[in-house]
Amino acid sequence: MIDEGRIINQLKDKSQRERAFSTLVHEYQEVLYWQIRRLVISHDDADDVLQNTFLKAWMALDDFRADSKISTWLFRIAINESLSFLEKKKRSTDLISGTDDFLANQLQADSYFDGDETQRLLQKAIAQLPDKQKAVFNLKYFQEMKYEDMSQVLNTSIGALKASYHHAVKKISDFFQLND
């Protein structure tokens, strides 16, 4: 893990900024990639959203006030970029009612997906969740993020996050019961 205080100081120093940012990219690119990938499904789309995430972070460095952890700030940008991407995709595909099936089928066709049938079904169930529930489920289930941290990432109350997670788990459970 990186020393947050040292990295923040380096990011504020224009002469050290590029090197410090490279450290951030190296430290967080994999975990952010997988968080994004679970939301947007496709490897290529996840790469694009990850690139946009780091680009937005770079452009917003002067606005980072360090009142949250760097990881929280990066996750917030990544989630927002992912949700924006999904919104654009829904509008552009004109498949409003079939977008979730479209995303799930994209996963099956993705040559980078190497999961078994259970993992494919889980991803299909997650793809059918509303975007906010999808984000909450992924952060809690895959990242094991605490609700307090999630609250900062998603700018939502802890109670609302717990309710969203509960509803997501129920919908996923129902999905598996129907596909038994």
pLDDT tens for each residue of 77-102? 999 999 999 888 877 765 444 545 55
Rg (the chain; Cα; Å): 17
pTM for this one? 0.79
pLDDT at 123 (0 to 100): 83
Distance CA(69)–CA(73), nearest Å, equals: 6
The CATH number covering residue 83 comes to 1.10.1740.10
**What DSSP letter does each residue of 36-86 carry, written as one string?**
HHHHH--HHHHHHHHHHHHHHHHHTGGG--SSS-HHHHHHHHHHHHHHHHH
Specify the 3-state DSSP secondary structure of 16: coil
Is pLDDT of 36 > 70?
Answer: yes
pLDDT tens for each residue of 145-180? 999 999 999 999 999 999 999 999 999 999 988 887
Question: Hunting for tokens 């109670």 — which residue is that?
Answer: 159
pLDDT at 33 (0 to 100): 97
- Token pair, residue 167, equals 């509803």
By CB neighbour count within 10 A (0-12 exposed, 13-18 middle, 19+ buried), where does 3 fall?
exposed
Residue 16, domain extent: 4-178
What is the domain count for the chain? 1
